[in-house]
């Protein structure tokens, strides 16, 4: 019960130490580990001893790259599985290489506060370009303890938002349910061989079309739960520079859906990452969005724009979202000031997040307002289009003065009140 207090979980990708003197903690390239804390004040203050030692959850082989994880605890005490914690991820079993590399969706469950975990393969492993398994997963629970896992998958060459469901705390799953077809946005980048939206050598957007989901489960007690599911994602069906924010919802456990429907943003805003939040009593919906404010650039010299924004919609008694309006908008920055470790491309990660209460929302997004563009890096990135061996610039000596904050991308947040209480 909540009388036992609260526990915060932190799931993350985990690597072995590169030093040859270190004994490898696990096989493979990347694993999934989880830490927890019962001392929120200490954790907030930066006390490392407030956290448990990380527990390695994923089962690894020498070629496994575990990736795109999400963690969730059943937080409605009305649930028969209250306190159970779920973790989902994609298990790339040939280090993301090959034409038919196996990549199943994995879900792991802990019933003892994250101390021990039981993992299950939920989907097949097939990944051959024609059929692929859910990636970019999201996991949530309703007030009755049902577990929902969402991801983007491919069937017969078409991408779909998909859902698996469990009624017994993750022991068995049914699915996949194909909810809606989607076109993955972006243009394949010649520099990194991955889709981008902002321009040449830009930030990858592999998971822009992946579903983000929230459920009105009445937390913390389950009182007032409508169990409405709200899902958002970005659709590239209209083509480059015309990407659309899509929203869909269900009031019957994902059996049927309303939508998807397009959500209008400011003229010129191109959504790239998005996540919804629904109030526990199902009266308000919020969406946090990272959006590019400039069209795709065929060069690295023209300015680019990235913004974080939060939208709000009331929800009618029957579950209909009455219409989104902008609740908050951050400062625009230039995503060319972000970077991968190799400097070859911009980098914004893969996610934004939001969480709602009955009185408001907290949202986080990628922000580059304090990141400076560096012309030397721009030239290097452009040169790599035709010369993969182009010399890498020295950031310390060539990104100075007005470029001194190159690479200073941030995660920013906002706590916002319900505008229609």
Beta strands in 339-420 (DSSP E): 353-356, 360-367, 410-417
C-alpha distance from residue 44 to each of 5, 38, 41, 55, 380 (Å): 17, 11, 5, 21, 39
Enumerate residues 6+ apart whose C-beta is below 8 A from 397.
Answer: none
Residue 420 has pLDDT above 50, yes or no: yes
Residue 99 has pLDDT above 60, yes or no: no
Secondary structure (3-state) at 32: strand
Task: Please compute, for residue 323, the number of CA atoms within 13 A of its CA located in the half-sphere on the CB side.
Answer: 1
Q: What is the Cα–Cα distance from 46 to 88, expressed in whole angstroms?
A: 27
Q: What is the Cα–Cα distance from 139 to 31, expressed in whole angstroms?
A: 19
pLDDT tens readout for residues 378-404: 999 999 999 999 999 999 999 999 999
Q: What is the Cα–Cα distance from 419 to 421, expressed in whole angstroms?
A: 6
Q: Which residue has the higher pLDDT, 260 or 20?
A: 260
- Closest alpha carbon to 331 in 365, 302, 361, 362: 365
Residue 97 has pLDDT above 90, yes or no: no
CA 282 from centre of chain: 22
Q: What domains lie within the chain, and their CATH numbers?
A: 1-182 (2.120.10.10), 185-421 (no CATH)
Cβ(106)–Cβ(95) below 8 Å: no
Q: What is the Cα–Cα distance from 266 to 364, expressed in whole angstroms?
A: 19
DSSP character at residue 318? T
Residue 20 has pLDDT above 80, yes or no: no
Residue 145 has pLDDT above 60, yes or no: yes
Specify the pTM.
0.95
- Closest alpha carbon to 274 in 147, 400, 337, 366: 366
Lowest mean pLDDT among 89-93, 177-181, 197-201, 235-239: 89-93
Residues in the chain: 421
Q: What is the Cα–Cα distance from 395 to 417, expressed in whole angstroms?
A: 41
Lowest mean pLDDT among 24-28, 104-108, 152-156, 359-363: 24-28
pLDDT tens readout for residues 234-246: 999 999 999 999 9
pLDDT for residue 27:
78
Enumerate residues 6+ apart whose C-beta is below 8 A from 328.
Answer: 309, 310, 363, 414, 416
């Amino acid at each position: 019960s909540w009388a036992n207090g609260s526990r915060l979980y932190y799931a993350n990708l985990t690597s072995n130490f590169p030093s040859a003197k270190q004994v490898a903690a696990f096989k493979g390239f990347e694993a999934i580990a989880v830490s927890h804390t019962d001392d929120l004040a200490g954790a907030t203050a930066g006390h490392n001893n407030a956290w448990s030692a990380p527990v390695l959850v994923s089962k690894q082989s020498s070629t496994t790259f575990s990736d795109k994880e999400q963690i969730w605890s059943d937080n409605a005490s009305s649930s028969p599985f209250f306190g159970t914690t779920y973790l989902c991820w994609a298990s790339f079993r040939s280090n993301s290489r090959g034409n038919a590399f196996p990549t199943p969706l994995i879900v792991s469950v802990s019933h003892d506060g994250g101390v021990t975990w039981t993992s299950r393969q939920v989907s097949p492993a097939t990944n051959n370009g024609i059929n692929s398994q859910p990636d970019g997963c999201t996991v949530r629970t309703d007030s009755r303890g049902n577990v929902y896992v969402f991801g983007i998958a491919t069937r017969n060459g078409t991408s779909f938002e998909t859902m698996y469901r469990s009624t017994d705390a993750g022991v068995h799953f049914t699915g996949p349910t194909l909810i809606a077809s989607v076109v993955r946005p972006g243009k394949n980048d010649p520099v990194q061989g991955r889709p981008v939206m902002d321009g040449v050598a830009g930030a990858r957007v592999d998971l822009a079309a992946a579903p983000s989901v929230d459920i009105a489960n009445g937390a913390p007690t389950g009182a007032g739960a409508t169990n409405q599911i709200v899902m958002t994602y970005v659709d590239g069906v209209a083509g480059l520079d015309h990407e659309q924010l899509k929203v869909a919802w269900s009031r019957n456990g994902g059996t049927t859906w309303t939508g998807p429907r397009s959500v209008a943003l400011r003229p010129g805003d191109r959504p790239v990452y998005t996540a919804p939040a629904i109030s526990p009593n199902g009266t308000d919906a919020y969406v946090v969005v990272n959006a590019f404010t400039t069209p795709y650039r065929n060069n690295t010299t023209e300015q680019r724009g990235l913004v974080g924004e939060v939208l709000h919609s009331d929800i009618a008694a029957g579950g209909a979202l009455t219409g989104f309006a902008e609740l908050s908008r951050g400062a625009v920055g230039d995503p060319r000031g972000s970077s991968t470790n190799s400097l070859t491309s911009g980098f914004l990660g893969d996610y934004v997040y939001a969480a709602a209460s009955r009185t408001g929302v907290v949202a986080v997004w990628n922000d580059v307002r304090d990141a400076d563009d560096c012309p030397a890096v721009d030239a290097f990135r452009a040169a790599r289009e035709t010369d993969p061996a182009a010399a890498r610039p020295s950031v310390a000596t060539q990104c100075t003065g007005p470029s001194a904050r190159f690479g200073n991308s941030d995660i920013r947040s906002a706590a916002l009140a319900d505008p229609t209480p």
